[in-house]
Amino acid sequence: MNSVSPSAAQYVGGVMQDELVDRGRQQQPMERQGSFGVRPPQTQDASREAAGEPDEMDKLKAKLMSAWNNVKYGWTVKSKTSFNKMSPVTILGHSYLLNSEDEVERFRLAFVSRIWLTYRREFPQLEGSTWTTDCGWGCMLRSGQMLLAQGLLVHLMPRDWVWPESQQLTDVDFEVFRPRSPARAGGVPIPSFGSPRGSSTPEKSLPSSQAPRCSQKKRVHESTKDRQEHIHSRLVTWFGDQPPAPFGVHQLVDIGKGSGKKAGDWYGPSVVAHILRKAVDKTSVVTNLAVYVAQDCTVYKEDVVRLCDRSLNQTSSDPSSQDWKSVIILVPVRLGGEALNPSYIDCVKNFLKLDCCIGIIGGKPKHSLYFIGFQDEQLLYLDPHYCQPVVDVSQINFSLESFHCSSPKKMPFNRMDPSCTIGFYAKNKKDFESLCSAVSEALSSSKEKYPVFTFVEGHSQDYGLEGHSSNHSGPPAHILPPGRLGRSNNRRSSEEFVFL
């Protein structure tokens, strides 16, 4: 194993993580009782405890665990990811057949342009703790950040936006797999990638009458590109590891205190969904956007309408004003008992084929991941388990390289943990109606008689993160459709991950 930079090899690969699982399991019973072990008896310095300040034992534990995790997640095992040239790869509603250089290039741009958010070290101390890193405990928060970042990208940027400075893919093989057999044909060398910036296609000479028009189009294109890059950089600053960043780990941890979570704790995909909603609600940096979190695997359409339709909440005299907010819909679900129910695999694939899908936060057991696509029976993901130095995003022209990943990774569907949160985005009311129709059709593809979740008319009381209504007032409604109470209780008791 060698220490690597983000540009060389950007993941802590699954190989290393698996090697450390057995070691981590020995600590698990103690870890579940606190941040990283059992707290000593709280018989002294009661005033410090009342103020939420860590005691000396907690400080020592945090320092030791920080040092260990910085080493553990700062190393990587290089392993190549193989893609079948004869099967399409799907990334968030777009498919790529990797049998030509043009398609490989489109796939590269689509993958590398996703915002990649990982563990960081040496950031300002989290309030009420000694933590200056989220290594070892913040992976679900990072996965949630990536899901929200994708929602903000489609909210603020054109659907076909790609990062023009994107790196070349690394540690990837494109091969022809034999059908219905685990054996592979001989590996085919990875095609050469032409850099978007390095294109040396000679320009054709144009008549003088067309030159001014082409020059004007070029200036417009460059202006649009500059504006999009400004938005791109600004969006990344919102996830910076400084206390003021609206979607940074400092803010998310602070919001999580409302659900009894603190720095050093592990977070489940359902809790993170509510934290993201709260983070968007309390900031003013993003306009015309709301986040709706489904309750008990049910999306209540009237709740979404009340959240998004401004005309129901205020009188607008300007007919040209936008009366409908864009919406990110987050649906916490459980796709089986202790393991993924295979009957839901086709349904998950169909979600990821939708343009309105912004990804899934979940992972494999004890290992949070952000799923963005699939090929055949393998999920494609971004992994937050790589510890990088903090980046000062307040600096002008800070480097964006460490916020984009060039090493695609895959894992089998059958290793997916059943607890996850699925994200969708609708730009306007028409898009929301199309979303309901498309997602309902995807839900119907499940071989299981119980759907992953449902859309229903009417509304439900929104318990949110604190356990009471926060979006609207009104008489309490039934939270669950008839006959689903028992299933929901079982789901709620086992919705969270335990991470190592």
Catalytic residues: 139, 383, 385
Q: How far apart are the first and last CA of the chain?
A: 20
Sign of CA dihedral 254, 146, 348, 351: positive
Tokens linked to 57: 């034992």
Joined together, the tokens standing for residue 240 give: 């910076």
Cα Dmax for the chain = 87
Under 8 Å between Cβ of 383 and 232: no
Question: What does the alpha-carbon distance between residue 33 and residue 191 come to, in Å, rounded to a whole number?
Answer: 51
Tell me how far apart the alpha carbons of residues 431 and 329 are, in angstroms, rounded to a whole number. Answer: 12
Which H helix or E strand runs over 142?
helix 139-156
* DSSP state at residue 392: -
| Cα–Cα dist 429/431, whole Å | 5
Instruction: Say if CB 387 and CB 69 are below 8 A apart.
Output: yes
Listed residue (276, 274, 266, 288) closest to 246, CA to CA:
276
DSSP state for residue 123 in the 8-state scheme:
P
Contact by Cβ (8 Å): 418, 339? yes
CA distance 139 to 366: 10
Q: Which residue has the tokens 């991941």?
A: 369
Determine the residue type at 497: F
Q: What angle do CA 277, 282, 287 make, to 5 degrees?
A: 85
Bridge partners (DSSP) of residue 89 are 96
Q: In the block, which residue shows the tokens 């015309």?
A: 288
How far apart are the C-alpha atoms of 295 and 155, rounded to whole Å? 24
Phi, psi of 370 (to 5 degrees): -115, 110
CA distance 233 to 393: 9
Cβ contact 476:250 at 8 Å: no
C-alpha triplet 63, 65, 68: angle, nearest 5°: 110
